[in-house]
A and B are shown apart, each in its own frame.
Chain A
Amino acid sequence: MNAKIDIALTLNGEAVTGRAEPRMLASDFIRDVLLMTGTHVGCEQGVCGACTIRFNGVVARSCLLFAAQLDGAVVETVESLAAPQDLNDIQKAFRKHHALQCGFCTPGFLMTVSEILQTLPLSTDHEIRDALSGNLCRCTGYEHIVRAVRDLVNQRDGVQA
């Protein structure tokens, strides 16, 4: 019943394979089998957003996917963004605006922000708050996260702050 299956995917640009029981959650597979621990698990019910990844280019809750669903997929996790010594613009904006404290929710926020910057106008702070509302943060009160995203939207749109 719990026989393991082979799962082959592209993870952060690299072809990888792993074996897992079909029932294993994608979040656990990424962390415990593929050993990419930047994706965090906060609720396993799709509420908190800490486990957010890009699944075939679209943000998804990896705790609401089975590992088996990753077979043949293109997956990006927080590790795809940039290295500690060379942060990308989103990471730099988060650092500049102190948009993280304990950092546990941060990978999920970064993955969400990387998508909404591409897909939404985010012309008001209200829109930014709505777009971020699927990711929970218990430390920052969101204020600095909103400021970081506002800065990124302004950079994207060529608006002077």
Chain B
Amino acid sequence: MNDAAIPKDIRSAPAPETSRPKYIGERVQRLEDPRLLTGTGRYTADIRFDRMVHLAFVRSDQAHARILGIDTDDAATFPGVIAVLTAQDFSEIPDLVAPSRMKNYHPTHCPVLARDTVRYVGEPVAVVVASDRYLAEDAANAVVVDYEPLGASSDPAAALLGDAVLLHDEVPGNLVLERSFATGDAGSAIAGAAHVVEGRFRLRRKSPMAMEPRAYVADYDRGRDALTLYGATQIPGVVRDELAKLLDIAGNRIRVIAPDVGGGFGGKGSLYPEEIIVAALARRLARPVKYVSDRLEDLTSTSQGFDEYVEARLAFDDDGMFIALEAEVIGDIGAYSIYPWTAALEPVQVASFLPGPYKTPHYRGRVRGVCTPKPPTGPYRGVGRPMAVFALERLVDMAAQKLDMDRAEIRRRNMVQPDEFPHRIGSGIIWNHSGFTECLDAAVKAVDYAGFKARQIAAREQGRWIGLGIGSYAELTGIGSRIAVAPGMPINTGNETATVRIDATGAVIATFATASHGQSLETTLAQIVAEELGVRPQDVQIVQGDTGMTAHGTGTYASRSAVIGGGAAIITTRALLKKVKRVAGRLFDVDPDRVETGDGEIYVPGTNHRIGFDELARAVYSDMATLPLAARETLESQENYDPVLGTTTSSTHIAEVEIDPETLSIRLTRFVVAEDCGRMINPQVVDGQVHGGVVQGIGVALLEELEFDATGQLLSASLADYLIPTSAESPHIEVIHLETVLPDNPGGFRGMGEGGTIGAPAAIANAVADALAHLGIGISELPITPSKLHRLIAAKNLTKDRE
């Protein structure tokens, strides 16, 4: 070892040696915050280029209609207008079709602009290109579209009837998909059971409603025939791969970048016609093109969530042990089966997750996805499970009520017990070890569960209606390549490749194909790399959301990034660390196994061998005298991680509500979450994800509803009508973290980005039903609002009067 390479003044006092884990599990302050707190983030709408033109879309004001003609003549004469384009101007771009290997599935054909027929209010029909957005909108208003209404049922059950108007020629009976799950013989088991409860449950359509509306900017480099699309997207990799096909461009000449993205929740997790048009026009016009949607467009053209009916019955014995579960699910998938997930994603997950964390020997679930003239549905936080858990947990409470059994106890005895994992539920999903009963017990312990009944009785005597509700669930997260995120989907979402590199200055850069849009991955992935490599998190630059940096990858969705991206970070950094130790061993002339790293230093304990990563990098890359050529290994590693299967995350939510008997307003007075997400990378980030998920679940339960009239017009098309929770409606949220048994993946991580939205609706529905138990009113539709409660109470009173 050449001692001259080490500046003695800096290295004279050996720093205390480190013990790990040092950064994983710490509340490390976020590395993305300084820019986001100072207005120096860069969201898509902030991006501008010289000669940039702006788009405004003409959107259908009819739900299902034939286009007889589009008159663009007037619009084309408006000031600043460069072009007014319709479907015929994009005839070279194939329709968007989401394929699937699933049986009984009929994909739909979605042209980038409606060709002959419109199928929902808000569908793009024409596009104006102008020198600024105001002028583009002026001209868009002057485009006249002549429609012949075709009718169609906006109710999915009616759309299945034999005489219903067909929305797509290629979808017989409007039935886009049908799938069944069966274990045992649920029908006979229910017929022979001592007790059965049943209900018809409905979860209304939601908007993911990220604060940042969708936006896209494309920049075209004429000289190189290369296209860069900046987009508010969760899936830049999927967008790049599909754009290459649709626009017939080699992947190395199209780069999709998700810069700072203002939330997604699934709404930015699909491929949209607008981003294809922005990219296509940038190349056609050979100049930058920008499109920023407004809130009305976002509420009518961004994929929507949920919207199912579930008719379900649960059979059980005198001890409350579940025997059989049977369900019919009808999902209103909207007008098109969305790319890449297909319309199967949401409704099929309702049926596949319905058995929940319980051991129910017999299960039969059938799901049908029906197209209606409404915006397409797509992924929304929780996907399928909010509906499944709402329906099942209501049935569980109804069962407890029927037997006069404690609601926690009936759950506890039916849950998969700690010694019973892995457990296969009736739909075929396998739960691996997770804290089902432990979460239930922790949540029950946190609230004054035993004392609640007395409080409730006392409150009722004072004319106050209070209720407590439990929502327990399990979910699969970090899903590997053997289980597709959506059934039969032909793209691989189950792996993640990380590249970790030490550059010539000694700085660390880690590249992923994830696309953080609020999840804090710039911090949590940096914590992991820092931990494994022995540097500080702030010394690690995370590069993600840029297809120019990765060969393959999809993005951030489905609670996958911490598990799969984090797993890739660990194994890749470990491979790099081996190289670091090998090179340092050579420099120090010691066995590489004796070399350790920590806080940005590379050292041999008990010796004065101690250098910085900058010195290591210099020795490898720049200083041609220190190491022989053969020892100058590139300080870079790339590894792929695929968890193959998924990991089980579980939780119990408990909500307490108070309902004002006069106004019927529903106020959340307490909310407790006990969850098991394995090892936490950053507890503060986990808390933030749980809080945010729970409050979206509060929206699902109490406020949010995309309400359509019978003709398919959206009635709640602004934030004054589509209400999301504000701070005033949101309660203080208590979160209890359990780490029962760590899952078998490199970091011991479980995904937890969606869970808050999965458990909260069920817990709140059960709490409201509990508060109204003395009136004999159950809750079978969410959101439940004061006006809906009023109707339920009025209907009950009417029935009583008749009796």
Query: Is B692 interfacial (CB 8 A cutoff)?
Result: yes
Are B37 and A102 within 8 A (Cβ)?
Answer: no
Interface size on B, residues (CB 8 A): 60
Q: How near does chain A come to B690, taking the closest CB pair, in angstroms?
A: 8
Q: Which of B46, B133, B733 has the most CB of A within 10 A?
A: B46
Q: Which residue of B lies closest to A37 (CB)?
A: B46
Once the chains bind, are B39 and A39 in contact (CB under 8 Å)? yes
Is the CB of A7 closer than 8 A to any CB of chain B?
Answer: no
Q: State whether A42 touches B39 (Cβ < 8 A).
A: no
Q: From B27-35, B153-161, B491-499, give the one contacting chain A.
A: B27-35
Chain B's closest residue to A96 (CB) is B29
Cβ-defined contact, A84 with B38, below 8 A: yes
Verify A102–B518 contact, CB threshold 8 A. Answer: yes
Q: Which residue from B35, B262, B519 sits with its C-beta under 8 Å from A104?
A: B262
Chain A hits for B517, CB < 8 A: 102
- The reply to whether A125 and B732 contact each other, CB–CB distance below 8 Å, is yes
Is A144's CB under 8 angstroms from B688's CB?
yes
Asked whether A132 is an interface residue with its Cβ less than 8 Å from the other chain, the reply is yes
Asked whether A74 is an interface residue with its Cβ less than 8 Å from the other chain, the reply is: no
Nearest A residue to B756, CB-CB = A141
B260 at the interface (CB under 8 A from A): yes
A98–B261 Cα distance when bound, in Å, is 17
- B328 close to A (CB within 8 Å): no
What's the least CB distance linking A117 to chain B, in Å? 15
List CB contacts (< 8 Å) of A22-66 with chain B: 23-24, 28, 31-32, 35-45, 47-48, 50
- Of A36, A41, A102, the residue contacting B39 (CB under 8 A) is A36
A123 to chain B, nearest CB (A): 16
* List of B residues within 8 angstroms of A82 by Cβ: 38
Residue A79 at the chain B interface, CB threshold 8 Å: yes
Alpha-carbon distance A148/B726, docked complex (angstroms): 16
Task: Please determine whether A141 and B695 come into contact, CB atoms closer than 8 angstroms.
Answer: yes
Cβ distance A18 to chain B, nearest Cβ, rounded Å: 14
Q: Say which residue of B45, B46, B718, B726 sits within 8 Å of A43 (CB atoms).
A: B718
Answer yes or no: B211 CB below 8 A from chain A CBs.
yes
Q: How far is the CB of B138 from chain A (nearest CB, A)?
A: 9
- B147 beta carbon closer than 8 Å to chain A: no
Q: A101-B520, A103-B41, A133-B726 are in contact. Are A141 and B685 (CB under 8 A)?
A: no
The complex places the Cα of A50 from the Cα of B719 at a distance, in Å, of 13
Known: A24-B134, A101-B688. A44 touches B295 (CB 8 A): yes
For chain A residues 86-143, which have a beta carbon within 8 Å of chain B?
A: 87, 91, 94-96, 98, 100-107, 110, 125, 128-130, 132-143
Which residues of chain A come closer than 8 Å to B211, judged between CB atoms? 40, 42, 48, 50, 102, 104-105, 136-139
A83 contacts partner chain B, Cβ-Cβ < 8 Å: yes
Complex contacts, B687 vs chain A, CB 8 Å? 98, 143-144
A-B contact count (CB 8 A): 189
Quick one: which of B37, B260, B295, B685 contacts A84, CB cutoff 8 A? Answer: B37
Q: Is A70 an interface residue (CB 8 A)?
A: no
Considering the chains assembled together, what is the distance between the CA atoms of A23 and B135 in angstroms?
12
**B695 and A94 form a contact (CB under 8 A):** no
What residue in chain A is nearest B295 (Cβ atoms)? A43
Contact B39 A133 (CB under 8 A): no
Q: Which one of A28, A47, A94, A133 lies within 8 Å of B33 (CB-CB)? A: A94
Bound CA span A1–B730, Å? 46
**For the complex, is B630 an interface residue (Cβ under 8 Å from A)?**
no
Cα–Cα distance between A30 and B419 once the two chains are bound (Å): 61
List residues of B (647-703) whose CB comes within 8 Å of A's CBs.
Answer: 684-685, 687-688, 690-696
Task: Evaluate whether A133 and B134 lie within 8 angstroms (CB atoms) in the complex, with A79-B39, A102-B262 already known.
Answer: no
Provide the residues of chain B in CB contact with A128, threshold 8 Å: 727
A129 with B730: CB separation less than 8 A? yes
Contact in complex: A21, B212 (CB < 8 Å): no
Is the CB–CB distance between B263 and A138 below 8 Å?
yes
Tell me whether A75 is interfacial, beta carbon within 8 Å: no
Give the docked Cα–Cα distance between A26 and B601 (Å): 51
Is A42 within 8 A of B213, CB to CB? yes
Distance (Å) between the CB of A147 and the closest chain B CB?
10
Separation in Å of the B706 CB from the closest CB of chain A?
15
Name which residue of chain B comes closest to A143, CB basis.
B691
Chain B residue at minimal CB-CB distance from A103: B36
Cβ of A136 and Cβ of B685 under 8 Å apart?
A: no
Q: Determine if B262 and A136 form an interchain contact, defined as CB atoms under 8 angstroms apart.
A: no
- Give CA–CA (A81, B40) in the complex, Å: 12
Q: Are A143 and B32 in contact (CB under 8 A)?
A: no
A85 within 8 Å of B by Cβ?
A: yes
Which residues of A lie under 8 Å from residue B324 when comparing CB positions?
A: none
Does B68 touch A at the CB level, under 8 Å? no
Measured between beta carbons, the chain A residues less than 8 angstroms from B720 are 45, 47
* Given A24-B134, A102-B262, A104-B211: A43 touches B719 (CB 8 Å cut-off): yes
Query: Does B29 contact A104, Cβ atoms closer than 8 Å?
Result: no
Chain B interface (Cβ within 8 Å of chain A)? Answer: 27, 29-30, 32-43, 45-46, 48, 79, 133-134, 209-213, 260-263, 265, 294-295, 517-520, 684-685, 687-688, 690-696, 718-720, 724-728, 730, 732-733, 756
Q: What are the 10 A-B residue pairs with the smallest beta carbon separation, nearest first?
A: A38-B39, A104-B262, A103-B36, A102-B518, A141-B691, A141-B695, A101-B518, A84-B34, A37-B46, A78-B39
14 A-B pairs (CB sep. < 8 Å): A35-B48, A37-B43, A42-B212, A44-B295, A82-B38, A98-B30, A101-B692, A102-B262, A103-B37, A128-B727, A139-B692, A141-B696, A142-B695, A142-B730
User: 16 additional contacts, CB 8 Å, given A37-B46, A102-B261, A103-B518?
Assistant: A2-B79, A31-B45, A43-B718, A44-B295, A45-B295, A47-B718, A47-B719, A101-B692, A106-B36, A132-B728, A136-B719, A138-B692, A140-B688, A141-B730, A143-B733, A144-B688
